[in-house]
Structure 1
Amino acid sequence: MNKEEDTHNHQHGGIFGKKTDLYFSVFCGVILLLGFILEKTTSSPSWAYLGSYIIAYFFGGYFISIEAVKKIPKGHFDIDFLMIAAAIGAAYIGSWAEGALLLFLFSLGHALESYAMNKATKSIEALSDLSPNTAIVKKDGQLIETPIEQLKINDVIVVQPHTKIAADGVIIVGNSSINQAPITGESMPVDKMAIPNIDNLPDFREIDKTHIVYTGTINGDGHIEVLVLKLSKDSTVARLIKMVSEVETQKSPTQRLTKKFEKVYVPIVILLVGILCFAYLIIDETFQESLYRAITVLVAASPCALAISTPSAVLSGIARAAQKGVLIKGGKALEDLGSITTIAFDKTGTLTEGKPKLTNVIPFNEFNETAFVQMILEVESLSNHPLAKAISKDLKEKYNLDYLGKASEINAIQGKGIQAIYKNENVFIGNTKLMLDEGILVNDSIQSKMNGLLQQGHTVMLVAFKNDIVGLISVMDVPRETAISTLKRLKEIGIKRMIMLTGDHQNVGDTIAKQIGLTEAKGNLLPEDKVESIKKLLQEDKRIAMVGDGVNDAPAMALSTVSVAMGAAGSDVALETADVALMSDKIERLPFVIGLSRQSKRIIKQNIFISLGVVFLLVPITILGLTNIGWAVVFHEGSTIIVVINALRLLRFKMD
């Protein structure tokens, strides 16, 4: 029952708001159960249980009837119409319980699927929240708070420390460390500095990225001024919103196939039933007998089992996934995931921890290691830079040290590192440029060790004391503990390609990929670059899954066949855009949910075979009058029970 084309029309208002159709379906089921109990287990008068069935008909068929009636003037006769006709026919021949059950199951699947599909629209609102509402514009020496919609090209905005940046542009005054994770997915803040010359600026994408800032990114400790180079409607955030909107309006192949089937099947059944009503004109029987035969055929041909074959399996699969902490948003995602052989992963927060970890502490020249790490702890503890905080935290835990407050006069040297006083001597921690600017020699041996770590994707900092380099430290966003075993399991169940897409440097991507067993890695990617990568992968492999956790992943996730969001670490946008969410933030659940999807696909195929098989068997038999209504109902409802029981097997699914 893949009806995404009509799903949005099925969100009805009413006394319970947008969930009214869901509540009506539940009421139908409760009242149907009450009627069945009255009929089978008590000596109640017939009007009691018949009244229950009639009320169940009202709640179960209310919204389906509205949709069916709306489409009739347009000449659209789909399964909605046929289900209503079958329910009316069942009532005519006295099978009120079967008709009410048909409406209950069909309306429940309808309501739940439409509810799940419409949640995706919230991704647009979540994306919009990235950008601040106002910016501080510097004009004629005055600072004016201005709505971002009113910003103009070449306006100068002032960005205070620890606030969101309101426009895409270039820094013209000041230096700072910018957290670009909301846009690029980079795991570590990036040092940015003012561009030396703003005359004859090249195209935005050609400007050195050390001078560029994006809407929605977060400023660090520095005061900066930004020259606006893009209007609000053209900003990076606006592009993300546009990408997600465009992808969400695309129709799925499953939807188109289902609509084609309905357009052929339903008119044929309607025509056949209409013709059989007048069979008495050709064969020797009364009009009542022909009408009885026609209604029997209508009941036999009504796609009750077919209509619930997919929803019953989908709901069982979704329920089983929920037991394991996985949220699957609808049947399309559940079905599609089982056919995936290529998975694209975001790096930060998905395959890695999403935060820098201290990876190497290497003292030189026989410098005492304990004294070395204590000195670094004292200096780094004075800094508010995210890297300094990560280094201090890891040093305390790894070496069981305490901060003693022996360093002073911390000085951040933008783009290079930090300088402080420790034991009345200068300490410098930073890159090669910092050391050379301070007249400190970096010999070939030190440079070689540093380059080796840089090639492996580490962020390396040299440490100088008394004007000599006494060692180095490095940090890196390290892989999740479960990443290696998860990827190995994915290979075992038939995933052939596993690709990392990251905003980090290519060296970082290659190192992580080698460590955890990925097929390949693609680095230095902005959101639009990830989208292009997904498009290329779709051309090569037809169907791919995208696993991510950040806002910058939303457009690529929306474009992929199936998108999977990491739960606790995921942004609201990724969760809303994604088809599957690993709620417990455990990537090791991914093989389970793929296995569940494959089993769901097998059961859906079995259910369709059973339901269509019964229909194709019953219709000729009832047309020829070889069976009565009772047997038609038994076989028809029997196939429904078999389909439901088969679907419920998914609730016991376990990964081999």
Structure 2
Amino acid sequence: MNKQETHHHKGIEIFGKKTELYFAVLCGLFLVIGFLIATFTALPFWFSLSCYLISYFFGGYFISIEAFQKIIKGGFDIDFLMIAAAAGAAYIGSWAEGALLLFLFSLGHALEHYAMNRAKKSIKALGELSPKIALLKKDGKLTEIPITNLKINDIIAVKPNTKIAADGVIIKGSSSLNQAPITGESMPVDKTYIEDIDNLPAFNDIDKKHIVYTGTINGDSSLDVLVLKLSKDSTVSRLIKMVSEIETQKSPTQRITKKFEKYYVPIVIVSVFLLCFTYLIIDENFEQSIYRAITVLVAASPCALAISTPSAVLSGIARAAQKGVLIKGGKALESLGEITTIAFDKTGTLTEGKPKLTNVIPLHNFDEKELVQLILEIESLSNHPLAKAIVKDIKSQYKILVTNKASNVNAIQGKGIEATYQQEKVFIGNIKLMESAEILVDEVTISKMKALLEKGHTVMLIGLKNKIIGLISVMDLPRKMAADTLKRLKEIGIKRMIMLTGDHQNVGDAIAKQIGLTEAKGNLLPEDKVNAIKVLLKRDGKIAMVGDGVNDAPAMALSTVSIAMGAAGSDVALEAADVALMSDKIENLPFVIGLSRASKTIIKQNIFISLAVVFLLVPATIFGLTNIGLAVAFHEGSTIVVVLNALRLLRFKTK
């Protein structure tokens, strides 16, 4: 049913936004009451007729409004045909038939409208990423102003642990930024000021270590940022624009349905009108011609066709909900059944989304226990997110406590930290830090570092008394069920599984190898992910995107089907997604894809059954080979078969 165009009903909404659904339920309720009175009681006919009339009102109210709105614009659709069929059924005394037609159609009609405002919610959630106020720094004074009033080359102050208010370049200060809301990077990123601001290159050409994005979160240090993009051109604004443009595009299913209605409905209307005058050319009276025309109208009303897809969709969605999976509509359910390529975000989707201590390796015969204690003492004095992760895991794995033997911790931006431990200088960080401290990094150490870096680990060296005494590594580890899930996806026919991540290519390759992905693409910003999805769509036709962060929203919206990880996912990703794994279990992915494929098969079966009945029944009624009773029996029989077939999905299980 092509109902996506109608977002507002010019009618009463006494039950709020769910009024249409409640009206459909009331239609069914009064239909049942009327049928029971007529079948099992000796009450006068007007008792059951009153119930049928009330059922007609509730079932036809919103459908009639939409049909009228189309008619005054010069168009006819299935809404009009269903109203005409119900009216015709009433004219020949088949009140229950007409009420049933309206009930089934209005129920599907109402449920199709259930998630209509998703695009608006998605855009609203994206807008909330950006702070509304910026601290403008001018003539040594700080002034709060709306971010919309910021101009290019304004300077804003960013306090510790606050959101960045504009895209720009750091001109004073250094800090570690959480860029996950925009880039999806699992690790905090060290940022520092740019020395030469007089000859700045284009924004995209500035070294990323100096650039900040709107909506990212500052660490423990204050920054001054030179604004290089207006609010409307910021990264977040681009995300909003991308999602807005993509979400409001019509689907192929909508266009096909519109074409079907465009030709089918007028043909039926004209045919029924002409059949009213068959008494002029064959030997029958006017009443017989009218009876034949109305019988054809009932036979041609696509009740089974109208309910064939919604019934299967509703059954599929209900079954998914039982397993903690939210599917937002029939398009997602159908499209997912055709997918053979899935793109995954890394952080929080295929991985846990948190850095974990993976290795503590003593070097040059240094004692492991002493090394671990030294690392714990020093890192416990740092506020860096990686330091906090290291401290937590050391305490957990080695069962030791801080004894306050370290002091004078100093963070060296982009290199690491230095501290005093038992009256000796200790350095923990990268090779640049060791070189600046004049500590030799030998080939054995470099070899061990490279081996870990190639596997996706973040590696830090520990220097003491002018030599390397050990190294530690951290990594965002794969989810426990990731490898098994990907294996099951291959078994059910998913041919290509690609990781799209903002992390380094080495990290992506390492994770891909561990869990069995077919491909990994690293160093991707949101627009890069969108471009990657475009390439994959061109190559494979249809693609599903699984993500959990805001930075995934444009890529998810562009994909054929977007799937959000629930508990770990942002509000934006959930709003933009077609499917949400509410329990945050990636292992539910094979189930929902299998369910989608079963749903698509049943939808095809239902459409075949419903069209076959219409194509057989209409000619039979035109040539007088059947009466209204048989037409109703076959017509409603096909509807029941279609519904029962759809209900099989409620018992769907993966093999």
TM interval, shorter chain, is over 0.9
For residues 371-412 of structure 1, the C-alpha deviation after alignment (integer angstroms, 9 at most, x for no partner) is 211211121111111101111111111112223333222221
Say whether 1:352 aligns with 2:390.
no
2:499 aligned counterpart, secondary structure: strand
Residue 519 of structure 1 corresponds to 518
1:537 aligns with 2:543: no
> Amino acid of the residue matched to residue 478 of structure 2?
P
Kindly indicate whether residue 482 of structure 2 is the aligned counterpart of residue 483 of structure 1. Answer: yes
Q: Match of 1:528?
A: 527
Separation of aligned partners in 2, 1:190 and 1:317 = 43
1: CA distance between counterparts of 2:68 and 2:560?
34
Say yes or no: does 1:650 pair with 2:621: no
- 1:60-99 matched pairs, under 5 angstroms: 60-99=59-98
Cα distance in 2, alignment partners of residues 49 and 378 from structure 1: 84
Structure 2 counterpart of 1:36, one-letter code: F
- Does the Cα contact within 8 Å between 2:10 and 2:65 map onto a contact in 1? no
Return the alpha-carbon distance in structure 1 between the equivalents of residues 9 and 104 of structure 2. Answer: 16
Cα distance in 1 for partners of 2:643, 2:649 equals 11
Q: What is the DSSP-based 3-state SS (H/G/I as helix, E as strand, rest coil) of the residue aligned with 2:589?
A: helix
CA contact (8 A) 2:167 2:234 kept: yes
Judge which range, 460-469 or 33-42, deviates more: 33-42
Match of 2:230 in 1: 231
Hey, what does 2:337 align to over in structure 1?
Answer: 338
**Structure 1 stretches of 4+ moved >4 Å:** 9-13
- State the partner residue of 1:3: 3
Alpha-carbon distance between aligned partners in 2 of 1:255 and 1:502, rounded to the nearest angstrom: 33
Once the two structures are overlaid, the 10-residue window that deviates more, 380-389 or 439-448, is 439-448
1:162 corresponds to: 161
State how far apart, in whole Å, the 2-side matches of 1:202 and 1:74 are: 54
Q: Alpha-carbon deviation of 1:283?
A: 0.9
**Shift, 1:525, TM fit:** 0.5
- Following superposition, the deviation at residue 110 of structure 1 comes to 1.4
- For 1:197, the equivalent position in structure 2 comes to 196
1:202-261 Cα distance to aligned partner (Å, 9 max, x none): 000000000000000000001000000000000000000000011012111111111111
The farther-off stretch of 471-480 and 620-629 is: 620-629
* Residue identity matched to 1:628: N
Which sections of structure 2, spanning at least 5 residues, go unmatched? none
Shift of 1:555: 0.3
* Aligned partner of residue 513 in structure 2, secondary structure: helix
CA distance in 2, matches of 1:9, 1:296: 34
Query: Which residue in the other structure is 1:623 paired with?
Result: 622
Kindly state the Cα deviation for residue 12 of structure 1 after the two structures are TM-superposed. Answer: 6.3
**Are 1:2 and 1:332, in contact at CA under 8 Å, matched by a contact in 2?**
no
Q: After superposition, where does 1:423-502 map in structure 2 within 5 Å? A: 423-502=422-501
Give the counterpart letter for 2:32 in structure 1.
Answer: L
Native 8 Å contact 2:31 2:99 kept in 1: yes
> In the TM superposition, what are the counterparts of 1:248-267 in structure 2 within 5 Å?
248-267=247-266
- The answer to whether the 8 A contact 1:11-1:18 is kept is no
What's 1:383 paired with? 382
Aligned: 1:53 with 2:83: no
- Kept in 2, the 8 Å contact 1:181–1:550? The answer is yes
Q: Is the 8 A contact 1:317 1:651 kept in 2?
A: yes
Alpha-carbon separation, structure 1, partners of 2:315 and 2:15: 26
Superposition map of 1:90-169 within 5 A: 90-169=89-168
Q: Could you say what secondary structure the match of 1:138 adopts?
A: strand
Judged with a 3 Å threshold, the aligned counterparts in structure 2 of structure 1 residues 93 and 420 are, in CA distance, closer, same or farther, namely same
Q: Does structure 2 retain, via aligned residues, the 8 Å contact 1:566–1:586?
A: yes
Contact 1:12 1:19 (8 Å CA) reproduced: no
Counterpart position of 1:509: 508
CA contact (8 A) 1:185 1:552 kept: yes
Q: Distance in 2 between matches of 1:242 and 1:350?
A: 25
2:459 touches 2:474 (CA, 8 Å); kept in 1? yes
Cα deviation digits, residues 300-331 of structure 1 (max 9, x gap): 00000000000000000000000011000000
In structure 2, what residue type is equivalent to 1:378? E
Report the more deviating stretch, 355-364 or 457-466: 457-466
**How many angstroms apart in 1 are the aligned matches of 2:358 and 2:96?**
68
TM-score (norm 2): 0.98
Q: Which residue does 1:269 correspond to in 2?
A: 268
- Equivalent residue, structure 2, for 1:181: 180
How far apart in 2 are the matches of 1:518 and 1:44? 69
Q: For residues 544 and 13 of structure 1, do their structure 2 counterparts lie closer, same or farther at Cα, with a shift above 3 Å needed?
A: farther
Query: Alpha-carbon deviation of 1:127?
Result: 0.1
The share of aligned pairs that are identical, in percent, is 76
Q: 1:66: Cα distance to partner? A: 0.4
Q: CA deviation at 1:460?
A: 0.5
CA contact (8 A) 2:119 2:248 kept: no
Across the aligned residues of Structure 1 and Structure 2, the Cα RMSD in angstroms comes to 1.2
Maintained 8 Å contact 2:2/2:254: yes
8 Å contact from structure 2 (residues 213, 235) kept in 1: yes
Seen in structure 2, the aligned counterparts of structure 1 residues 610 and 10 have a Cα distance that, compared at 3 Å, is farther
2:421 and 2:104 map into 1 onto residues whose CA distance is 74
Tell me the SS of whatever aligns to 1:222.
coil
Name the SS for the 2:35 alignment partner.
helix
Preserved contact between residue 12 and residue 18 of structure 1 (Cα < 8 Å): no
Contact 1:12 1:20 in 2 (8 A): no
Aligned counterparts of 1:554 and 1:11: Cα–Cα separation in 2: 33
Cα distance in structure 2, aligned partners of 1:331 and 1:206: 43
In 2, the alpha carbon distance for the partners of 1:188 and 1:113 equals 41
Please give the alpha-carbon distance, in whole angstroms, between the structure 2 residues aligned to 1:655 and 1:7. Answer: 37
Distance in 1 (alpha carbons) for counterparts of 2:635 and 2:462: 79
Deviation of the 1:9 alpha carbon: 4.2
Contact 1:11 1:21 in 2 (8 A): no
> 1:453: how far off?
1.4
CA distance in 2, matches of 1:562, 1:189: 30
Moved more, 46-55 or 198-207: 46-55
Distance 1:164 1:278 in 2: 74
**Deviation of 1:28 (Å):** 1.6
Structure 1 distance, partners of 2:474, 2:195, is 30
* Deviation of the 1:438 alpha carbon: 1.4
Is the Cα contact below 8 Å between 2:563 and 2:581 reproduced in 1?
A: yes
- AA of the residue aligned to 2:514: Q
**Counterparts of 2:177 and 2:99 in 1: how far apart (Å)?**
61
1:326 aligns with 2:325: yes
CA distance in 1 between counterparts of 2:626 and 2:52 reads 26
Read off the aligned partner of 1:367 and give its amino acid letter.
Answer: F
Paired AA for residue 3 in structure 1: K
Say if 2:11 and 2:65, in contact at 8 Å, map to a contact too. no
Is the contact between residue 428 and residue 465 of structure 1 (CA under 8 Å) also seen in structure 2?
yes
Deviation digits for residues 557-580 of structure 1, max 9, x if unmatched? 000000000000101111000000
Deviation at 1:3, TM superposition (A): 3.5
Encode CA deviations 1:150-203: one digit per residue, 9 max, x unaligned.
000000000000000000000000000000000000001100000011011000
SS at match of 1:117: coil
- 2:294 corresponds in structure 1 to 295
1:96-125 CA-to-partner distances (Å, cap 9, x unmatched) read: 222112212211211212122322320000
Cα displacement string for residues 544-567 of structure 1 (whole angstroms, at most 9, x for unaligned residues) = 111100000000000000000000
For residues 478 and 10 of structure 2, the distance between their equivalents in structure 1, rounded to whole angstroms, comes to 42
- Shift in alpha-carbon separation, 1:376–1:495, aligned structure 2, 3 A: same
What's the counterpart of residue 412 of structure 1? Answer: 411
Matched residues in 1 for 2:355 and 2:11: separation? Answer: 48
C-alpha deviations, 1:441-490, integer Å up to 9, x for none? 21122122112212222111011223321100001111111110111111
Deviates more, 1:69-78 or 1:295-304: 69-78
Structure 1: stretches of 5+ with no match in the other structure: none
Structure 2: how far apart are the matches of 1:342 and 1:20?
A: 39
The answer to whether the 8 A contact 1:117-1:329 is kept is no
Question: Contact (CA 8 Å) 1:378, 1:406: kept in 2 or not?
Answer: yes
1:590 aligns with 2:589: yes
Shift in Å at residue 37 of structure 1?
Answer: 2.8
Q: Read off the aligned partner of 1:183 and give its amino acid letter.
A: I
Task: Name the structure 1 match of 2:14.
Answer: 15
CA–CA separation in structure 1 for the residues paired with 2:42 and 2:336 = 50
Distance in 1 separating the partners of 2:26 and 2:397: 60
> What's the secondary structure of 1:655's corresponding residue?
coil
Deviation at 1:34, TM superposition (A): 2.4
Deviations 1:492-516 (A, max 9, x none): 1111111110001111111111111
